[in-house]
A and B are shown apart, each in its own frame.
Chain A
Amino acid sequence: MIREFGPNDIVYLLEAARWTVALALIAAVGGGILGVIVAVLRIVPFKPANWLAIGFINLIQGTPLLGQLFVFFFGLPLFHVVVDPWVAAALSLSIYASAFLGEIWRGSLQSVSPRQWEAGASLGLPYHQRLLHVILPQAIRIAVPPTVGFLVQLVKDTSLTALIGFVELTRESQILSNSTYAPLQVYGVAALIYFVICFALTRLSQRLERTPHAAR
């Protein structure tokens, strides 16, 4: 039965968008926690840890996210680990995000001038206090635009999980489009919803960037 595209469909899309947002949030938090570990392993003065981190980053950044999703969703069952789309999606997006966020944050930390470390040291501040009170506040400010930029990317990347049957905004759009034969309206509304989410993130970033008194 073919029906008309109506207001109800917009409600369906908005409901599906909840899962897009939820998945992006989980991936951002999970990827953030893993990303801190990646960044730390990347800079600690212990070569094997650095190699491990670099290998991980190259592997994740150098392969398509869709491939990673398939590995988790279709690959793990081969080892008798059953995963539902939720778990596979959350896991692979978190790992994907960690490789990018880890590198963004390592770069931000290292782009604070070494002279700032020296200035802290010359006042007798121990290492952890130099990091916490002198370096991190400056690094975080540097990290905001690329971090938010990546999160915007991540919101849109959640659409790939439609291919393993996870019903989020894009999958719901496919379903509604099939039953209404109104792809232009359906995907148009979906695109608008993606835009609103991403635009809100970008605005947030601009607000955070306006913090005064950064290094010149």
Chain B
Amino acid sequence: MPLVEVSDIHKSFGVVEVLKGISLTVDKGEIVAVIGRSGSGKSTMLRCLNGLEKVQAGRIVVAGTEVTSPDADLNRLRQQAGMVFQSYNLFPHLSVERNITLALTLVRKMKLPAAREIAKEMVARVGLADKLGAYPDELSGGQQQRVAIARSLAMQPTLMLFDEITSALDPELVGEVLRVLEGVAKDGMTMMLVTHEMNFAKNVADRVIFMHEGRIHEDGPARQTLVEPRTAELRSFLSAVLH
């Protein structure tokens, strides 16, 4: 059974239809890169998966939870499906350690010492073992984003959603975040990433989904889809981003 099942979802903001019937499935362990022009609906699609956006029609099932059902337990679902954002969204008033332990103690009902152990383990995993006591405003963008990844990973999700997580970073900081992502991928995490990093998509993702005007335009093995695009739209998109 697939981990993510999306059937024919439609989503509008006011009169603008952003998603015009999206269907897809993602299996456990798969790494899916979602690419497309800005405004093609890729971020919106990702945000529908953990219920941050409500769809108007269609059905979404993630890790056994029917997200689109009116009585879905979204808080439980979101422990299963972690999300990392373009703008990091760390809690600025809390230390790195507390950023990570907050949900562990409140949601997972862990004792603080046990949660602290996990925080220590997680920051080490993203290469920031010495920043446990630092505050977000003392970290670079790349470091903040790595902490955000650690914070999500600490909840032990079965699926990770990454929403353009390197787009707000200075170019020299992108590499360190992508290396952390590669590490997460190697550990077998199921991942969906909205990204503009075509090389990363080609080398790390198993599969690429190209979205165009609210629909999935191409969906196939990463390398093949990016090297030999079948449609004119993907070809023109790729030539625009790779110039």
**A116 x B89 contact (CB < 8 A):** yes
Q: Which residues of A contact B91 (CB under 8 A)?
A: 116, 119-120, 134
Q: A125-B75, A213-B137 are in contact. Are A138 and B107 (CB under 8 A)?
A: no
Q: Which residues of A contact B85 (CB under 8 A)?
A: 115, 118-119, 122
A116 to B75, CA, bound (A): 16
**Cβ-based interface call for A3 (8 A):** no
Q: Tell me the smallest distance from the CB of B89 to a CB of chain A, in Å.
A: 4
Chain A 15-49 interface residues, beta-carbon cutoff 8 Å to B: none
Select B92's contact among A118, A122, A215, beta carbons within 8 Å: A215
Chain A 118-134 interface residues, beta-carbon cutoff 8 Å to B: 118-126, 129, 133-134
Q: Tell me the smallest distance from the CB of A118 to a CB of chain B, in Å.
A: 6
Q: A116-B91, A119-B85, A134-B91 are in contact. Are A124 and B136 (CB under 8 A)?
A: no
Chain A 163-216 interface residues, beta-carbon cutoff 8 Å to B: 212-216
Chain B 30-61 interface residues, beta-carbon cutoff 8 Å to A: 50, 52
A141 to B76, CA, bound (A): 31
A41 to B82, CA, bound (A): 33
Q: Tell me the smallest distance from the CB of A115 to a CB of chain B, in Å.
A: 5
Select B152's contact among A120, A123, A213, A216, beta carbons within 8 Å: A123
Q: Tell me the smallest distance from the CB of B48 to a CB of chain A, in Å.
A: 13
Q: A133-B106, A213-B135 are in contact. Are A124 and B89 (CB under 8 A)?
A: no
Q: Which residue of chain B lies nearest to A119 when distances are taken between CB atoms in the complex? A: B89
**B52 x A122 contact (CB < 8 A):** yes
Q: Which residue of chain A lies nearest to B104 when distances are taken between CB atoms in the complex? A: A123
Q: Which residue of chain B lies nearest to A140 when distances are taken between CB atoms in the complex? A: B93
**B52 x A121 contact (CB < 8 A):** yes
Q: Which residue of chain A lies nearest to B80 when distances are taken between CB atoms in the complex? A: A124
**Cβ-based interface call for A77 (8 A):** no
**Cβ-based interface call for A137 (8 A):** yes
Interface centre among B74, B83, B89, B155, by most A CB within 10 Å? B89
**Cβ-based interface call for B204 (8 A):** no
**B136 x A133 contact (CB < 8 A):** no
Q: Which residue of chain A lies nearest to B79 when distances are taken between CB atoms in the complex? A: A124
A-B contact pairs, 12 of them (CB 8 A): A115-B85, A115-B89, A118-B52, A123-B151, A123-B152, A124-B103, A125-B75, A126-B107, A133-B102, A133-B106, A212-B135, A213-B93
